[in-house]
Amino acid sequence: MTSAFSFPTAILFGPGSSSALPGKLRELCVGRPLVVTDPGLAESAPIKAIAGLLQSEAHVFSGVTANPTEADVEAAAEAYVAMNCDGVIAVGGGSALDVGKVLRLRIKRPEKRLAEFQPDFGWAPLPRFIAIPTTAGTGSEVGRSGVIILNGRKRVIFHPALLADLVILDPELTVGLPATLTAATGADALTHCIESATSPVFHPMCDAIALEGIRFIHQSLRIAVANGSELEARGHMLLAATMGGIAFQKDLGAVHSLAHPLSTICGMHHGTANAMCLPAVMAFNAERKPGLFQRVGEAMGLNDPTDDSVIQTIQTLLREIGLAPGLAARGVKALQLERLADQAWEDDCHRTNAVPVTRDDLYHLYELAM
């Protein structure tokens, strides 16, 4: 059997690393970049810092919504053309990064609407793209896809040409992230690492990266939540989120299938939804595949880890960062579980879960997570 691996993104990491941006733009021959972000960040310290570095060359589009739509991409592409830009810098969480990535398709082929996107077209090269995450969770900075709502439905636009030319992981840009968002986005990164490390898909490079990501998160997520200006912990979380994003090239599992409908039907934050479902799915998986979490426990530095001790450790971590399990306490009603389970079953992530799941298993897992 043949497996394909690739880890090509250039990454700059470290407190203050964003100060390298002007030089990197020159290297990439970008003279008029469009900075893409969301309205919540438009007046924030990270955007002011980036604008300060770019000086007169700063052209900012701050119209990205929380669940970005085709209209967001269109507006960003119009701003790019109107300001005569020649590259994109996306600054923010997954939404800003996804819009920044995808708008370049509209620049390359303005005659094609996003709904007409064809993955088999030769899209490369797209305009240059630099991704600067200000949250540590989605891993979108190293992804080859963007999630955009087209005609009322979430669509994953995937193409290798969407990959960033450069990722800048500057922990100083994440210190303003509130504790609740630090916890929720961190739980997303943790779930990416655990699900990819235990998925049966063969990808040993992803496994190694996921396990190191778990080590960073176990060491640093509590500290980043308790003290947001702790730069070492912030840095570890940024690295772990990026590593989770790389690792889940290998694919995810049932936690993400359960989490997606909790966002679309119940409006729950994606990271929070993962945190609510992670312990129940881990217990379900371990029961059917004993020893599954031994390497996860070793990555967290546990002595003679067992599945139970690993699940306990994860539960304690989630509780300590304010994400104790309990869907009911977060407004999910028992009457919604059938619909949630139907949607979770339609979600492809569970197909690469550590063990096979049925639609009824997913329903039962929601019950356990209530």
Q: How far is the CB of 270 from Fe ion (least distance, A)?
A: 6
Residue 339's Cβ-side half-sphere holds a number of Cα atoms within 13 Å equal to 11
**CB of residue 362 vs Fe ion: minimum separation in angstroms?**
17
3-state SS assignment for residue 159: coil
**Could you tell me the smallest distance in angstroms from the CB atom of residue 328 to Fe ion?**
22
CA angle at residue 7 from 257 to 70, to 5 degrees? Answer: 50
- Closer to Fe ion at the Cβ: 93 or 127? 93
In whole angstroms, the minimum distance from the beta carbon of 106 to Fe ion comes to: 26
**For Fe ion, which is the closer residue by CB, 62 or 95?**
95
Binding residues for Fe ion (CB under 5 A): 188
H helices of the chain, in order, are 21-27, 45-54, 70-82, 94-108, 179-198, 204-226, 231-247, 254-264, 270-288, 294-299, 307-320, 337-346, 359-369
Closest-by-Cβ residue to Fe ion is: 188
Spatial distance between the Cα atoms of 67 and 263, rounded to a whole number of angstroms: 10
Shortest CB 335 distance to Fe ion, Å: 26
Which CB, 87 or 253, lies closer to Fe ion?
253
DSSP 131: E
Of the pair 141, 188, the CB lying nearest Fe ion is at 188
CB of 343 to Fe ion, least distance (A): 16
Contact 188, 138 (CB under 8 A): yes
If the CB atoms of residues 18 and 199 are measured against Fe ion, the closer one turns out to be 199
Cα of 316 vs its chain's centroid, Å: 23
State how far the Cα of 260 lies from the Cα of 268, in Å rounded to an integer. 9
Measured between alpha carbons, how far is residue 329 from residues 274, 283, 295, 332, 334 in Å?
15, 21, 32, 7, 12
Closest approach of Cβ 185 to Fe ion, in Å?
A: 9
- Nearest CB to Fe ion, comparing residues 170 and 188: 188
Nearer residue to Fe ion within complex by CB, 167 or 190: 190
**Vertex 191 angle, CA 188 and 195, to 5°:** 145
